[in-house]
Amino acid sequence: MSQNKFQALVLREEDKKTNASIETLALDALPDEDTLIKVDYSTLNYKDALAITGKGKIVRTWPMVPGVDFAGTVVESSNPQYKPGTRVVLTGWSVGEKYWGGYSQYQRVKSDWLVPLPEGLTTRQAMMIGTAGFTAMLCVNALQAANITPQSGPVLVTGAAGGVGSVAVAILTNLGYSVTALTGDPDKHTYVKQLGATAFADGPEWSEAPRALEAQRWAAAIDTVGSKVLARVLAEMHYGGVVAACGLAGGADLSTTVMPFILRSVRLIGVDSVMLPTKDRVSAWQRIVNDLPMEVLNGITATTVSLTDVKDAAEDMLGGKLKGRVLVDVNAV
């Protein structure tokens, strides 16, 4: 393939259905932004899976190259901060939804969206962490900013075998917290236990609506699921407990009462990684390097797929068949 040609996974809307296919593109087909990146790796996130399969209203402009994150090397940029050869990581900013994303061997983006790769981190490791791991770090930051310490009591992580949950369990464990995991699947317990979870909360009650207040069980929680699960988490919090909510794998609805908030002083904190200011991104990535043991990453990254295999992996993710992080090697087509 010529130097000016590359491959990308492209989503096109045909008869109101999403069609995903590998296409050969020229560099001049890329968006008109100020920085050209040679992409090394991306990841598969829940939002990507919804976009690729067409099962969620994620894509806002067509055609679209999905992939909400990527890591690679600057080829050229009009921003003097990003000289050729600079290794960078990108998460969020509606990339893969409104702007072309990471499932491409080259991409052109706004330099304001980039973060220089922290010292000691490879582009592969950055995407083994990816948006999910970055979001997990933000959730831990939120709990600590709310004065939740290891001495506060047990921390519940829901969706603990998923991308965000896996990294959250590993980081919390490394920081000395006692982590209880909710996976929804006993077959995933061994995997999550290896990351540091010391107990599991799985049971039939998690599919049922809770009472306004349940027995107090958790000092804090990181929730990736939403819906009935988040409602029960709130009802089971200790007095003064804190919940960092960042996902909706179980649904976007939330049927609850004010009781946990006005009788137990529970705090519900929303965590967003898409529009986070750059200075906060830089510090969060540095914290990841410090607080997530790099040797744990190989255990968290359960699957590596090529661009060709992303569609099948997306279906498996939505079907709950995957665990941990899914790395996308965009140069292994």
SS3 185: coil
The class level of CATH for 5-117+293-329 reads alpha beta
Residues 6+ apart with CB under 8 A from 46: 162, 163, 247, 249, 317, 318
In angstroms, rounded to a whole number, what is the distance separating the alpha carbons of residues 201 and 181? 6
Strands 106-109 and 179-182: unpaired
Phi, psi of 5 (to 5 degrees): -110, 145
Domain positions in the chain are 5-117+293-329, 132-270
- Closest to 131 measured CA to CA, from 164, 172, 98: 164
Query: What's the residue count for the chain?
Result: 333
- Closest to 54 measured CA to CA, from 23, 15, 90: 15
Q: What is the pLDDT of residues 87-129, one digit of tens each?
A: 999 999 999 999 999 999 999 999 999 999 999 899 999 999 9
pLDDT tier for residue 3 given thresholds of 50, 70 and 90: low
> Which residues are 19's β-sheet partners?
12
Q: What is the pLDDT of residues 138-196, one digit of tens each?
A: 999 999 999 999 999 999 999 999 889 999 999 999 999 999 999 989 999 999 999 99
Per-residue DSSP letter, 317: H
> What CATH number does the domain located at 132-270 have?
3.40.50.720
In angstroms, rounded to a whole number, what is the distance separating the alpha carbons of residues 268 and 143? 10
In angstroms, rounded to a whole number, what is the distance separating the alpha carbons of residues 151 and 249? 30
The residue type at 250:
G
- Per-residue pLDDT for 2 more than 60? no
Helices 310-318 and 46-53 cross at an angle (nearest 10°) of 110
SS3 189: helix
